[in-house]
Chains A and B, each alone.
Chain A
């Protein structure tokens, strides 16, 4: 009976995903990743005005809001040969930078921290010691004994009410929780502070895009016209507001997020040996400094690393059907000419065909198709994408700034480069790049202000706005590095309408089911070998899955030691009987 565990669903992620894993001798020996929700947005945008598509596909995700809009406008601009003004490029960079700062911080504190931080244990902390720790790692002003005493009292009283709300039934007291009580208290205090702070940094989106979540974008540039002379557009006040928000955000990251990350990571160095995966990493590159066409000017370089070999970085070509293909061997879709071959996204199809078990069900049939996620491959190989991939590609490319940031973090934690290829490495990489992006975003802001100072107030290139100026047929690809990894959209335009549209998103790379050759994608691959201390509370699975910051909600099922399916929690009693 002790083997029987059920986790369904995993929380603190976006969307609906389910993983079934097989445990033997206290370790995961196999895992199956499945997304159980589909909306068919790629089919919905067919036939629509390409200039409208960004708004539809932006709704793919409201957490990393902006990235699909950005990829989409870049896709349409690529198809129509539109070059946007430098100011619009900088505004897009600044918005994406603000997103990184927001999204990564929220991931760390509100989605991932409760895997490592024991909220209840914080009640045992000595606030004076917490204060000493806080002051030893950061100059953040909220660090007095009195402050942490107040936080602790508040948590204590909250717990005493008996209604724990979102903290009910957490993994408190789990043997894998290893932080001292004082560090737990520090993290709980910053959980609450980050919840307050996160609504500030997104105001950058509100100023440029009118709202957050889901700010507005525009094919050809951005809609927020600049007018420094009369009321009506972006004035010095609006721009100063952005500058202040970015500065405040950068301080929070430097003085709260990064010190906390390093402090917490230092207690979990064993996780540098868990969650390794297959070792292929891909980044499309992003944050143009000299126009989107000049990839050499990107802050994050593009490239592919194979088998952890940082000495060689391969180039990515989104247009090549030899390089990027999507497969549906194990996905609930059909291809019109058979499921055995892959398709380049320009020729991609989204023909939904569910063939899984009839709900309510306990288990998927993983011998057949088992997910709504397609399986993308680069030259036939699985790729891991995300913060770690970006930093490794940058490291491999010899980017000094990235190398220094990575080396500094490794030195601080006193771990070798190999430690990066892990659950801990993924979580640390996210923090390291947040710091980099926060710095770069200030540079983008300065560039924008300098452009305006020099008299360039253009924000949109409307030369090719009218469909009458478009070719009869065109195709384009647009990409960016979303917080969760490499993201690209492909469009075919015909007679002024969207003829075909495909999105290959970061979580498609990471969460997809295995391919026809049986090669696992990142989630499935990295779970293998993960030790499970208590199968009733498989915190370890959640840690590794959360280290990817999934854009999907997860449901995790485990098999018993004999590889036989075990019950879901809802049916556990009947299963035992």
Chain B
């Protein structure tokens, strides 16, 4: 029997075979819909999609990386993500978790590449070094580039996990000794979903996978190839400390009175205003916290070139490379011009009844901002 004639189970069939009920299945699709921020009316569509879509094979490659992306992926907190998705996507090759080694591992990959040519998803964790003919990263005697191009050829789509595969990350920081290169600069003729972050949030990674398997198409991407569902808002826009920014209340140093009050960390170098990610909305590890909530500024780890935009603890109003073409916007404008108006508006919006306090805050805010700009 040739590969294409073999019967493959749909998600629905395989879920039922695994002992889950129809009810479990519907619950799962409801979770997924909620998870992806979809209306209830979409639940039926997801369910139908999963019932009729064949299982999606996934090959997960590891190049110049630290495995934080794989670790983050297994942190995904959704119960059914842990119980089903990890199995349901048929993770046929991943150095981190697969039982088989060597010959058996490579055979599993080759089989998937052959049997599901044009149908499997290739996930890439890590950048690819081009320096010294690629000698800086070899697996099974092949360079990362050779291995990547081979696996990419039959892939339906490619996911660039994390900042390494998306942007080059730490090893591409100056002077980039190994010419670490993100994958979209090596391969141009395939759709590549870039999921930056060091690492990306586990639920974001699961969400991207779920989008692909549930809808059978790629999520809508922004100009940089990032799924809009997770990367269309700045951390700053959804930050619970934003009102302090608008009110001009800033931590001056770590562990000072203002930082204990949970004031804005902008003056301690927070890159939230220039960083597009879901940290403020989804938060980390099932919504427990995110860097700013735990008192440390955002490093901007999902932005291109963030390592070279330091020092990290220095306030930046204009960061080259951060979300090029996007509105790294106007951090300057927001910080300088709009702020005074912003303070008043936000103070009103917050319905702070104590007029004196409002007045004091506005004054302090303006003073702080002048201090910032001085």
- A52-B310 in contact given A36-B138, A542-B101 (Cβ < 8 Å): yes
A-B pair count, CB < 8 Å, reads 344
CA distance A9 to B101 in the complex (A): 6
Q: Mark B281-293, 1 if CB is under 8 A from A, else 0.
A: 0001110111111
- A59-B74 in contact given A163-B55, A169-B107 (Cβ < 8 Å): no
Is A8's beta carbon under 8 Å from chain B? yes
Of A114, A205, A211, most B-chain CB atoms within 10 Å = A211
- A10-B101 in contact given A158-B87, A233-B260 (Cβ < 8 Å): yes
Q: Mark A43-72, 1 if CB is under 8 A from B, else 0.
A: 110001101100110011111010000000
Q: Do A37 and B138 have beta carbons less than 8 Å apart?
A: yes
Residue numbers of A with Cβ under 8 A of B are 5-16, 36-41, 43-44, 48-49, 51-52, 55-56, 59-63, 65, 110, 114, 119, 150, 153-154, 157-158, 160-163, 165-171, 192, 195-196, 198-199, 202-203, 205-216, 218, 220-227, 230-233, 241, 352, 354, 356, 358-363, 372, 457-460, 462, 465, 536-538, 542, 553-556, 568-570, 572
Main secondary structure of the interface of A (DSSP, over half): loop
Partner of A225, one of B142, B180, B295: B295
Q: Do A214 and B199 have beta carbons less than 8 Å apart?
A: yes
Is B198's beta carbon under 8 Å from chain A? yes
Q: Do B64 and A220 have beta carbons less than 8 Å apart?
A: no
- A462-B180 in contact given A62-B66, A168-B100, A207-B289 (Cβ < 8 Å): no
Q: How far does the Cβ of B303 sit from chain A's closest Cβ, in whole Å?
A: 14
Is B98's beta carbon under 8 Å from chain A? yes
Within 8 A of A (CB), among B255-303: 255-256, 259-263, 279, 284-286, 288-296, 299, 301
Q: How far does the Cβ of B257 sit from chain A's closest Cβ, in whole Å?
A: 9
Partner of A199, one of B66, B138, B286: B286
CA distance A226 to B261 in the complex (A): 9
Interface size on B, residues (CB 8 A): 104
Q: Do A40 and B171 have beta carbons less than 8 Å apart?
A: yes
CA distance A215 to B170 in the complex (A): 16
> What are 17 sample pairs from A and B whose C-beta atoms fall under 8 A apart?
A5-B103, A6-B102, A7-B101, A13-B95, A44-B176, A150-B19, A165-B91, A166-B86, A203-B285, A213-B71, A230-B261, A232-B263, A359-B135, A361-B138, A553-B139, A570-B141, A572-B103
The residues of A that contact B213 with a CB separation of less than 8 Å are: none
Is B92's beta carbon under 8 Å from chain A? yes
Q: Do B9 and A207 have beta carbons less than 8 Å apart?
A: no
Q: Do B18 and A8 have beta carbons less than 8 Å apart?
A: no
The residues of B that contact A554 with a CB separation of less than 8 Å are: 101
Q: How far does the Cβ of A498 sit from chain B's closest Cβ, in whole Å?
A: 11
Is B25's beta carbon under 8 Å from chain A? no
The residues of A that contact B184 with a CB separation of less than 8 Å are: none
Nearest B residue to A355 via CB reads B135
Q: Do A12 and B98 have beta carbons less than 8 Å apart?
A: yes
Q: How far does the Cβ of B175 sit from chain A's closest Cβ, in whole Å?
A: 7
The residues of B that contact A14 with a CB separation of less than 8 Å are: 66-67, 96
The residues of A that contact B74 with a CB separation of less than 8 Å are: 195, 198-199
Q: Do B19 and A62 have beta carbons less than 8 Å apart?
A: no
Q: Do A211 and B19 have beta carbons less than 8 Å apart?
A: no
Partner of A43, one of B63, B94, B175, B263: B175
The residues of B that contact A157 with a CB separation of less than 8 Å are: 17-19
Q: How far does the Cβ of B268 sit from chain A's closest Cβ, in whole Å?
A: 9
Q: Do B289 and A213 have beta carbons less than 8 Å apart?
A: no
Within 8 A of A (CB), among B133-151: 133-143, 146
